[in-house]
Amino acid sequence: MEQQDKPIGIFDSGVGGISVLRAAVRELPHEDFCYFGDSANAPYGPRSTAEVQRLSEAVVTHLLTKGVKAIVIACNTATSAAATLLRQKYPTLPIIGIEPAVKPAVERHPGQQVVVMATPLTLREEKFTRLAKRYRQQADIVPLAAPDLVEFVEAGATDTPAVHAYLHKLLAPYATTAAAVVLGCTHFPFVRAAIAQEVRPGAPIIDGGAGTARELRRQLEAKQLLNPQQEAGRVVFENSTATSAMIQLSERLFNEKND
Ligand code: DGL
C-alpha cells in the first residue's frame, strides 16, 4: 500500500477527541481514520506528566501497528505532556497536536475576559503557561480547571441535571463577565450547549478542533500524503476498555451535533 493510501491515527484519553475527529473528517473527507480512545485510563488530566507520556507512547505504538501515516493527538492534555517526546521518538512521522484556542479568542475580544476551561494538567503544563503569558497583556485570561466534565462525557452524560448543576456552580463567577469561553479540552465541545446556558447569551465558545484539522491538512499536503481516493473515507473506532458500550458512545458522539 502506498503511504498516502494509509489511514490517519487519532487518539485521546477517551471519547473527547471525537470532537476533533469530526472537524478532521469535515476538512479531509477522503481520508481514512483510526480513532483510539484510551477510556480505560481516562481521565489523563489528574495524572502526572510522566504517566501521560507513558500512556500516549503506548497508544502511538498501537496505532503504528495499524500502519498509520500520521498521528493527531486529539487531546490537549496529551499534547502538553507528550507531543515533544513523541516527535523526538518519531522524527519522520507527522504528529499534529492541539492547544487551547486562546489566540482567536483574544483577537476577537481584546481587553475583555477570556475564560479557558481545561484539565488541571493542561493548565499546569509549560505549554499553557507560555500561551497565557503571551496574551495576558491583550486580555484578561482566566484559567478554569473543569476535571469532572471529562468523566461526565465519558459516561455519555452531556445534558443531564448533574452536568448542568456542575457547570452552573463552576461558571457562576464568570456568568456576566466572560466575553468568550475557550474549550481547552476536547471532551468539552460535547457539553457546549450546557456551557452556553451559563454565560452571557451570544458569548462565543471556541474550540481548537477546526484549527487542528487545518494543520493536519497543511502537514499532509506539504508531505504529499493526501489520500487520492475519490470516495468518502472510513472511520474505525477502537477503545482500550474493549467494550461495545464505549464504541456505541463513540459512534453516538461522532454523529451528534455539537458545533
Ligand atoms: N480530552 C482531553 C483533553 O483535551 C482530556 C482529558 C482527560 O482525560 O483528562 O485534555
| Assigned CATH class of 102-207 | alpha beta
Pocket lined around ligand 1, Cβ cut-off 6 Å: 12-14, 16, 42-45, 75-77, 119, 122, 150, 185-187
Establish whether domains 3-98+209-255 and 102-207 are of one fold: yes
* Span between the terminal Cα atoms of the chain, in Å: 35
For 17, list phi and psi in degrees, rounded to 5: -65, -10
* Active-site option among 185, 195, 203, 206: 185
Contact by Cβ (8 Å): 99, 131? yes
Contact by Cβ (8 Å): 230, 30? yes
For 108, list phi and psi in degrees, rounded to 5: -80, -25
| Cell (9 digits) for 253 | 458522539
Beta bridge partner(s), residue 90? none
**Ligand 1 pocket mutation pick from 55, 80, 119, 253 by most atoms within 8 angstroms of CB:** 119
Q: Tell me, in angstroms, the distance from the centre of ligand 1 to residue 203's CA.
A: 23
Q: Tell me, in angstroms, the distance from the centre of ligand 1 to residue 142's CA.
A: 19
Instruction: Collect the ranges in the chain with pLDDT lower than 70.
Output: 259
**pLDDT score of 78:** 96
**pLDDT score of 229:** 94
Domain boundaries, the chain: 3-98+209-255, 102-207
> In terms of residues, how long is the chain?
259
Q: CA-to-CA distance for 247 and 245, rounded, in angstroms?
A: 5
**pLDDT score of 143:** 97
* Active-site option among 25, 71, 75, 96: 75
From start to end of 122-256, where are the E strands?
Answer: 140-145, 178-183, 205-207, 235-239
CA-based max dimension of the chain = 55
**Residue 202, Cβ neighbours under 10 Å: how many?**
6
**pLDDT score of 147:** 84
**Atom 2 (ligand 1): residue with closest C-alpha?**
75
pTM for the whole structure: 0.96
- Closest ligand 1 atom to the C-alpha of 188? 1
CATH 1.20.1250.20 describes domain 3-98+209-255? no
| Cell (9 digits) for 23 | 472537524
34 a catalytic residue? no
**Ligand 1 pocket mutation pick from 10, 11, 12 by most atoms within 8 angstroms of CB:** 12
Residues 6+ apart with CB under 8 A from 174: 113, 115, 142, 144, 181, 199
For 9, list phi and psi in degrees, rounded to 5: -90, 135
- Closest ligand 1 atom to the C-alpha of 80? 10
Q: Tell me, in angstroms, the distance from the centre of ligand 1 to residue 74's CA.
A: 9
